[in-house]
Amino acid sequence: MTGNQIEALIGMLVTFGLLVLMVLPSVIGIVRDRRIDRQIREAQEGGGTGKETQKSSSRSTVPSTATWYAEGRRSKKLVSS
């Protein structure tokens, strides 16, 4: 191979590599969307394995500190006005 042929080969490989890097995020997004769509469709049909079903907890939920703080701030505003 001559120097020009090697240079052309390297140029083509770099161009192909850049093309792959630009297309890869789109392909990953499409595959992810299709997987999510399939999961939604399975959930709507009621089919699926036990690991996808959500288990309810017997423990009561406690609001987070941020929720508690926001509720307190709202009530103070209502009282003061």
Q: What is the pLDDT of residue 41?
A: 94
Asked if the structure places residue 26 within a domain, the reply is yes
Asked if the structure places residue 68 within a domain, the reply is no
Q: DSSP secondary-structure letter at 58?
A: S
Q: What is the pLDDT of residue 1?
A: 86
CA distance 54 to 79: 41
- pLDDT tens-digit series, residues 12-66: 999 999 999 999 999 999 999 999 999 999 999 986 555 555 556 666 666 666 6
Does residue 5 carry a pLDDT above 70? yes
Q: Which domain holds residue 31?
A: 21-47
How many CA atoms are closer than 13 Å to the CA of 72, on its beta-carbon side?
7
Which has the higher per-residue pLDDT, 53 or 73?
A: 73
Task: Count the domains in the chain.
Answer: 1
Closest CA to 33 of 44, 21, 45, 25: 25
> SS3 string of 6-31?
HHHHHHHHHHHHHHHHHHHHHHHHHH
Asked if the structure places residue 63 within a domain, the reply is no
Q: Give this prediction's pTM.
A: 0.46
Asked if the structure places residue 55 within a domain, the reply is no
